[in-house]
Structure 1
Amino acid sequence: MRLSTVILPIHRWSEGQKVWRRAEELGFHAAYTYDHLSWRTFRDGPWFGALPTLTAAAGVTERLRLGTLVTSPNFRHPVTLAKELITLDDVSGGRITLGIGAGGSGFDATALGQPAWTPRERADHFGEFVPLLDRLLTNDVVTHRGTHYAADEVRNIPGCVQRPRLPFAVAATGPRGMRLAVAHGQAWVTTGDPALFETGTPQQSLEAVRAQIGRLTDAGDAAGRDVRGMEKILLTGFTPGWALDSYEAFTDFAGAYAQAGITEIVLHWPVPDSFFAADLAVFERIATEGVPGVTRG
């Protein structure tokens, strides 16, 4: 199992660059950031763009993998996103992972002036977005006419540093999303079962993730793909209990999810006086001392 972190894009770069450098010093496998225009309780505070932040982070780190958790079609178009990702992969020397999901109904879902999509509409957009983005990142020239997106002789030369393209980590829990993850993902992402966050128990959450992995395996079997070797990422902070209460609490948490099949755990970098408040000393101990079965870097 690998250990990674997610750094919210809330810091002016004079301070933010110190956090990204520290993430590399601590030995995290990857550092991700949210790709939103604003987010929940942080809506009225500083919030910077994900891809420029990752580009800057690539310039102050050398080994750390970088990525989004997650990008969505809410305000992205595959054509322009592909060009930016190819550039970012080049700037970073091939260290980018694209976390990608269908999006939600949060503050930035209607930021471009469109009405909020229904769950079905989000799934429909996502179902066209991911295959087209895959094509754009793996082919020099792409033309596409679809229901929601179009591309007219789009050039993406020289393509990604990583071949055939940078990896996708697809966030999915429903059957359509699972099929997309199987078809296009090098990794799968979950935050657990949101229905259990407020009223469920840690054991129920663990079993829910175990069941999700089972459904991913079934989707792989149906498509003729063995997903046992596929990376399975848990973004923490949205399951019952709090894994960062202590070093021992995290050890138990990580061990249980490793047994369930999770191969990478992502911890939020502590943000004081927020939903993601945590003891920085505990956080850094987890990163530096490691946990049995968890790989650093």
Structure 2
Amino acid sequence: MSLRLSTVILPYRRWHEGGRAAWTRAEQLGFHTAYTYDHLSWRTFRDGPWFGAVPTLTAAAGVTDRLRLGTLVTSPNFRHPVTLAKELISLDDISGGRVTLGIGAGGSGFDATALGQEPWTPRERADRFAEFVPLLDRLLSEDAVSYEGDFYSAHEARNIPGCVQRPRLPFAVAATGPRGMRLAARFGQAWVTTGDPKLFENGTPEQSIQAIRGQAERFDDICAEAGRDMTGLDRVLLTGFTPDRNGPLESLTAFVDFAGRHAELGFTEIVIHWPIPDSPFAAEEKIFEQIAMEAPAQLR
């Protein structure tokens, strides 16, 4: 597979004050997919503007024609499979079948308690995720679903006419542990990683490469155990969370070197954050655009 370049556009700007322009520009620059985070608020952006993922993607679908759109990632932290499926089927229809669902188990951030619940332990998040993904798969693939589980239920949930993409829109499953990787192997059209979070503060780029290589090898083994055909199964790296931070966006050369080293590990898609001044994702917009326009050809 050739290496694709995608971006994440965080939903922190009003639509008519720069929000819309970023999505249309992403299509002009030739990105494969433009994703957004699906959070109620996020880290350093908590006390500023932050808009909903599904309405933002719906608006983006209306002002683009070719660009794929997606979440990176949605989680069970504040979502229910029944209502999420209805929104995704609607978004897939409005976009003409251009939606990818990036999905993960969620974390312990602000979303974890926004509905008034106690934060779930890592084990509880994994247990819920293991039920969430298969149920969502059914809801997006079948006309009517009834289900009674430990965490989620559905009673004659109707989702007619289903997704434009058949049998359903693709899942990009974020996972670093074996349980999540098994879900990616069974239900995913892509596997997503951000690298090893334990290396973010004090690790080195070389240690990060070795850790990601280890993740990729474990995913290979899990797919083999599951009998999963690897043909067409994408591997996605969301950048910005490895020890080199935004170093790959300092120049075209730096990015091509970074992306090339991860392509050698079997990654098929690299995702970079749209620059946000005075944030963890600060970068020179001119260099960002140069990377978008020139890097894919150099990486073929």
For this structure pair, what is the TM-score category when the shorter chain's length is used for normalisation? over 0.9
The answer to whether the Cα contact below 8 Å between 2:256 and 2:298 also exists between their aligned partners in 1 is no
Give, in whole Å, the separation in 2 of the partners of 1:49 and 1:280: 24
CA offset at residue 292 of structure 1?
4.6
Aligned ranges 1:1-297 → 2 under 5 Å: 1-14=3-16, 15-227=18-230, 229-241=232-244, 242-292=247-297, 294=299
* TM-score relative to the length of structure 1: 0.98
Other structure's SS at 1:130 match? helix
- Give the unaligned 5+ runs of structure 2: none
- Give the unaligned 5+ runs of structure 1: none
CA offset at residue 215 of structure 1?
0.6
The answer to whether the Cα contact below 8 Å between 1:217 and 1:228 also exists between their aligned partners in 2 is no
Other structure's SS at 2:248 match? coil
The answer to whether the Cα contact below 8 Å between 1:251 and 1:292 also exists between their aligned partners in 2 is no
The answer to whether the Cα contact below 8 Å between 1:210 and 1:261 also exists between their aligned partners in 2 is no
CA offset at residue 220 of structure 1?
0.7
Give, in whole Å, the separation in 1 of the partners of 2:231 and 2:41: 35
Residue deviations 1:212-245 (CA, integer Å, cap 9, x gap): 1111111111111132541000000000112111
User: Which amino acid is the alignment partner of residue 204 of structure 1?
Assistant: Q
User: Which amino acid is the alignment partner of residue 104 of structure 1?
Assistant: G
The answer to whether the Cα contact below 8 Å between 1:82 and 1:136 also exists between their aligned partners in 2 is yes
CA RMSD across the alignment: 0.9
Structure 1 runs of 4+ off > 6 angstroms?
none
Other structure's SS at 1:260 match? coil
Give, in whole Å, the separation in 2 of the partners of 1:7 and 1:125: 27
